[in-house]
Amino acid sequence: MNNETVNLLGGNLTLTQLNAIFQTIPEEFDFIDEHDIVRWSSANRHRLFKRTDDDLGKHVLEVHPGHSQERVKQVLKQMHDGKRGVLSLIIHYHGKPVNIAFYSLHDNDGKYIGCVEVTQDVSGHQEKGAWWHNLKQVLFKKH
């Protein structure tokens, strides 16, 4: 890996550290540019929806299944038009609840520069009994 430093709002990270963050956290991230082209995907073992290097440079609709393409297209149009900043929804994928969120991204002048799609298996999240669940997470390590 490269130890080149990346200056970010809030501090600096090396490329090694930045890549380690995205390889470790269980959420998957996809960056879609202002032309709706997939430019980057987090590469980690937790991904539910696999991405390959071949997916980079493709239109976002090419990497989504046919049944969801119309909804993705509609959300992206609303983001381009400035009518939507975020969409978060729960789907069921292989019997698990999965949260998929799209976040509209803008530069300092407010111009739309793309969006990030964040996907997370939320089957381990719960409201009922959350206090006990959280306490167990702190007291009993899972590897």
65-103 pLDDT per residue, tens: 788 888 888 999 999 999 999 999 888 888 888 888 999
CATH of domain 22-140: 3.30.450.20
* Residue spans per domain, the chain: 22-140
Q: Could you tell me the pLDDT band of residue 16, with boundaries at 50, 70 and 90?
A: very high
What percent of the chain has a predicted confidence (pLDDT) above 90?
46
Task: Mention every residue, 6+ apart, whose C-beta is less than 8 A from residue 22.
Answer: 29, 42, 43, 44
Pairing of strands 28-33, 112-121: antiparallel
Average pLDDT of span 30-42:
95
